[in-house]
Amino acid sequence: MATAVKARLSAWVGGLAADVVVVVVLLAALGAGVAYAAFFATTSNAGNTFTANPDVVAPTLTRSTAAETAAGAMAQHVHPGSAYQLYGQPADTGAPASGVATVTADASSLTSGQTSAAMPSGAFSFAGTSYSHRTNTLTANATLAACSYTPTITATDVAGNAGTSQASKVMVDRDLANYHVRIDGVATTDKSGISVANAGDVNGDGRPDALLSASAADNNGRGNSGSVYVVFGQAATATVDLAALGTQGYRIDGAAAGDNAGAAVAGAGDVDGDGRPDLLVTAYHSGNNGRAQSGSSYLFASPSCS
């Protein structure tokens, strides 16, 4: 009897769906009048799946910089026309964060056409700071004004959330090859430009004029007497050769050999009240009063003519 019941029970259990994982059979009694109680349970719930919470939060930028690729480059500075790269360190958040997938930069303010410059991932470092992403080499516009510019960096996470952040400001530097006016000395070892100053509007044309000196000039046969120049300001870009000054300004010469007039110069303002700014000039090796190299300083009244 018990064998037959067990056989029937085994067949019944074997016929259950495959998802039956727990079967508890209690045999209350065996033999005649045997009662059976059977229990089973399942943990399967076919058709449903478990998933993590979605990441709905876009990455943000934690730090960034820009730097030229040439040796000696300075963080956050580029020159017009220079080769440079943008660096970025985005961080993703979410619950959980899916991670940063792609990063691009809009550097169009520095380089025309670069509205979506790829920033591949890697281990990058500049000036002792590490970054996870960097553009390939870009070329700054050759006509950038010496102002500040702010690129943007967009980071997209694996879940597709894109966040755009302002990158660090980038300053545009200049070099003296971009001069407005260059003023060149007359002779070897003249030391032209050893002192410079704003002279004010000496010739009354509405533009400030330049005051500069060549303290070792040898004009008038007086070796190292020194000379001082007023060069009139002008709107146009130009190169001025003091050896051919013409009507672009005038010259003030040291009084005696060895005076080194113009070792320092300064605008004095309108001291004599004629409406024209006046000039201060030192000749620190002059020997007035029979006192060698006692030095003298001169207030030089600007002429009332142009």
Q: List residues near Ca ion by CB under 5 A.
A: 55, 57, 92, 94, 97, 157, 201, 203, 205, 207, 209, 216, 218, 224, 233, 270, 272, 274, 276, 278
How far out from the chain centre does Cα 20 lie? Answer: 67
How far out from the chain centre does Cα 13 lie? Answer: 75
Minimum CB distance to Ca ion, residue 300 (Å): 10
In the chain, the amino acid numbered 36 is Y
- Indicate the residue among 61 and 78 with the shorter CB distance to Ca ion: 61
- Indicate the residue among 92 and 106 with the shorter CB distance to Ca ion: 92
Angle formed at CA 305 by CA 301 and CA 306, multiple of 5 degrees: 115
In the chain, the amino acid numbered 292 is A
Minimum CB distance to Ca ion, residue 57 (Å): 4
- Indicate the residue among 119 and 217 with the shorter CB distance to Ca ion: 217
Minimum CB distance to Ca ion, residue 198 (Å): 11
Minimum CB distance to Ca ion, residue 247 (Å): 12
Minimum CB distance to Ca ion, residue 87 (Å): 21
Calpha distance 145→141 (Å, rounded):
9
205: left (phi over 0), alpha (psi -120 to 50) or beta: alpha
- Indicate the residue among 54 and 113 with the shorter CB distance to Ca ion: 54
CB crowding 198-207: b at 16 or more within 10 Å, else e: ebbbbbeeee
**Locate tokens 């997209």: which residue?**
156
Whether the CB-CB separation of 132 and 99 falls below 8 Å is answered with no
- Indicate the residue among 29 and 187 with the shorter CB distance to Ca ion: 187
Minimum CB distance to Ca ion, residue 53 (Å): 11
Minimum CB distance to Ca ion, residue 302 (Å): 5
What is the Cα gyration radius of the chain? 42
Residue number, nearest CB to Ca ion: 94
SS3 call for 206:
coil
Measured CA distances, 10 to 6, 16, 20, 173, 268 (Å): 6, 10, 13, 88, 116
- Indicate the residue among 65 and 104 with the shorter CB distance to Ca ion: 104
- Indicate the residue among 98 and 135 with the shorter CB distance to Ca ion: 98
